[in-house]
């Protein structure tokens, strides 16, 4: 009950910030429209909607880290955190309260991205639901990253780390904007050591109905999600105990 009330508050804080709504929903859709328009006017297949929609969804999810990280960092530097820490809320209440609202937001974000993609030519079938499940696992990684960044940095630093660095890493290393094979070498190797391209590839495989190709990539997604969540929870709890949060 306590954690649910706190989660509700956090959801309201995020939704009522117009910048969050713009970057969470508006910006990825603008990119989706823009790249689809480019595709319509070039003779080669660069941004086909079946490949583009999962990539833009993963890119959109990267803003989840910014939402949660900023909220935690802002709370941390305000007296409101003192009120919360003096209350009977436990560490588990805090972690659930900060992370839970982001799950439905992420589902909504990806769903909107796919619905818009339907109008741009994405095939409507049940595979899209499977892609949504895969993206939800991807979202766990971004939620964990937000929790970690919010625990360590102040809100301005979170803006730099999650708003600039993470979104750019997601964009460049996910294979959404360009085929990583075109660059190859160390860049491609580095990209495949991160989770982003695996998230996009797993979601693309789901969309294409190529179920056998989902799992090699999905293991990376699950592994990264578990790893970052464990680190984030450990750091968050340590920060609470160290009286610095």
Partner 1 sequence: MTAIETIDLTKKFKNKTAVNKLNLLVEQGELFALLGVNGAGKTTTIKMLSCLITPTSGDAILLGESVTNNPQAVKENVNVSPQETAVARNLTVKENLELTAEIYGFGRKVSKQKTEEMLLAFGLEEIANDKAKTLSGGMQRRLSITMALISDPKILFLDEPTLGLDVLARRELWSAIKKLKGKITVILTTHYMEEAETLSDRIGVMVKGELKAVGTAKDLIEKTGVKTFEDAFVALATETEAEK
Applying CB under 8 A, the residues found at the interface with partner 1 are: 1-2, 5-6, 8-9, 12-13, 16-17, 78-80, 82-90, 243
The 10 Å CB-count burial string (b at 16+, else e) for 108-134 is ebbebbbebbeebebeeeebbebbbeb
Q: How many CB atoms lie within 10 A of CB 12?
A: 11
Distance CA 164, CA 172 (A): 12
Least gap, CB of 162 to partner 1 (angstroms) = 19
CB of 99 to partner 1, least distance (A): 17
Please identify, using beta-carbon distances, which residue of 1 and 44 lies nearer to partner 1. 1
For the bound state, the minimum distance from the C-beta of residue 2 to partner 1, rounded and expressed in Å, comes to 5
Q: In this complex, which beta carbon is closest to partner 1, that of residue 86 or of residue 126?
A: 86
User: What's the half-sphere exposure (Cβ side, CA atoms, 13 Å) at 135?
Assistant: 35
Q: Write down the least CB distance from residue 190 to partner 1, Å.
A: 39
Is the Cβ of residue 87 or residue 168 nearer to partner 1 in the bound state?
87
List of long-range contacts for 211-219, beta carbons under 8 Å, 24+ apart? 214/130, 214/134, 218/134, 218/137
Smaller CB distance to partner 1: residue 19 or 38? 19
Torsion of CA 87, 230, 160, 29, to 10 degrees: -100
């Amino acid at each position: 009950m306590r954690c649910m009330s706190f989660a509700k508050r956090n959801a309201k804080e995020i939704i009522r910030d117009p910048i969050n709504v713009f970057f969470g929903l508006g910006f990825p859709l603008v990119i989706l429209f823009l790249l689809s328009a480019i595709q319509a006017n070039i003779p080669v297949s660069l941004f086909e909607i079946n490949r583009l929609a999962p990539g833009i969804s993963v890119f959109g999810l990267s803003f989840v880290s910014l939402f949660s990280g900023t909220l935690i960092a802002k709370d941390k530097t305000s007296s409101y955190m003192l009120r919360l820490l003096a209350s009977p809320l436990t560490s588990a209440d805090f972690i659930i309260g900060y992370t839970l609202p982001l799950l439905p937001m992420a589902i909504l974000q990806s769903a909107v991205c796919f619905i818009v993609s339907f109008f741009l030519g994405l095939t409507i079938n049940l595979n899209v639901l499977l892609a949504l499940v895969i993206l939800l696992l991807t979202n766990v990684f971004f939620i964990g990253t937000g929790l970690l960044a919010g625990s360590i940095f102040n809100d301005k630093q979170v803006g730099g780390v999650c708003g600039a660095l993470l979104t750019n890493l997601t964009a460049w290393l996910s294979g959404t904007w360009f085929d990583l094979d075109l660059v190859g070498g160390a860049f491609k190797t580095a990209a495949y050591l991160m989770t982003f391209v695996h998230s996009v590839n797993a979601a693309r495989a789901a969309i294409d109905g190529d179920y056998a190709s989902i799992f090699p990539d999905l293991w990376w997604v699950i592994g990264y999600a578990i790893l970052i969540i464990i680190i984030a929870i450990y750091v968050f709890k340590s920060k609470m105990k160290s009286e610095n949060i």
